């Protein structure tokens, strides 16, 4: 170590600490600083969840709030004061593996869909769970919720086995459009959107469309756009102008 020109040896004297003592001191500090941090930050008998929000997979926009979803948590930004609130399993979420979220303006509910078919609903920071779809024994296929569209108090859940029409006021399934393939075969639904009286569904084999005033439980009542460039796995749909 080079000493400044005007420094004295007494002021800048250096003591070399043997490696063995240095290791002991480091170990002692590690234990005690960790213990101190645990005592001051997380009280005994309580849990704290640390969720990474670096990978937002789905967003829902309300009038004054924006909700962002990761696989295992929800982050809420209040646009009025830029405050952030998080929701995790400790706050009442039913699980991890969130697949999609959306907001329904009619009911003021945020709908959270999961890989296993579970549904959580956030209303004024209160969380309700609907697990009858996830626990259904009549569905042997994957129950993953791929997309959610809302319309007039209903949530339209695009799933791996079909489309579920969910009543957001009654908190119950109104009907399920299943086996919508060209021959009544099972068809994976990836997305949905509406234009006037028509509903369009993105599927793993193109797009199908139906009139909401007809019996959409019958696969024969769906028009199919599954040829040429549309003969593919559709990832998303949107209505423009």
pLDDT, tens digit (0-9, with 9 covering 90-100), for 132-175: 999 999 999 899 999 999 999 999 999 999 999 999 999 999 99
Q: Tell me the pLDDT of the chain averaged across its residues.
A: 85
pLDDT of 95 higher than 70? yes
d(CA 214, CA 137): 28
| CA distances from residue 223 to 26, 78, 157, 176 in whole angstroms, order as listed | 71, 42, 20, 18
d(CA 84, CA 179): 42
Burial 136-172 (b: 16+ CB within 10 A, else e): eeebeeebbbbbbbbeeebbbbbbbbbbbbbebeeee
The predicted pLDDT at position 241 comes to: 80
- Are the C-beta atoms of 102 and 110 separated by less than 8 Å? yes
The predicted pLDDT at position 96 comes to: 81
> What's the angle, vertex CA 83, arms to CA 78 and CA 87, rounded to 5?
80
The predicted pLDDT at position 72 comes to: 82
pLDDT band at 83 (very low <50, low <70, confident <90, very high): very high
Least confident range from 33-42, 95-104, 106-115, 154-163: namely 33-42
């Amino acid at each position: 170590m080079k000493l400044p020109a005007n420094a004295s040896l007494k002021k800048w004297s250096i003591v070399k600490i043997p490696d063995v003592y240095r290791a002991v001191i480091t170990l002692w500090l590690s234990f005690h600083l960790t213990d101190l941090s645990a005592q001051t930050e997380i009280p005994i008998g309580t849990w704290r969840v640390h969720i990474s929000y670096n990978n937002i997979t789905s967003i829902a926009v309300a009038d004054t709030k924006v909700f962002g979803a990761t696989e295992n948590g929800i982050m809420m930004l209040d646009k009025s004061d830029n405050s952030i609130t998080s929701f995790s399993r400790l706050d009442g979420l039913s699980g991890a593996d969130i697949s999609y979220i959306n907001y329904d303006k009619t009911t003021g509910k945020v709908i959270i869909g999961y890989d296993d078919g579970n549904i959580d609903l956030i209303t004024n920071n209160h969380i309700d769970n609907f697990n009858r779809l996830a626990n259904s024994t009549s569905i042997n296929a994957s129950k993953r919720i791929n997309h959610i569209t809302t319309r007039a108090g209903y949530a339209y859940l695009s799933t791996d086995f079909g489309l579920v029409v969910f009543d957001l006021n009654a908190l119950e399934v109104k009907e399920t459009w299943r086996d919508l393939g060209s021959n009544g075969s099972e068809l994976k639904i990836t997305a949905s959107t509406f234009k006037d009286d028509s509903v369009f569904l993105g599927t793993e084999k193109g797009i199908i469309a139906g009139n909401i005033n007809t019996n959409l439980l019958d696969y024969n009542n769906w028009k199919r756009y599954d040829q040429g460039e549309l003969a593919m796995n559709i990832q998303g749909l949107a209505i423009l102008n």
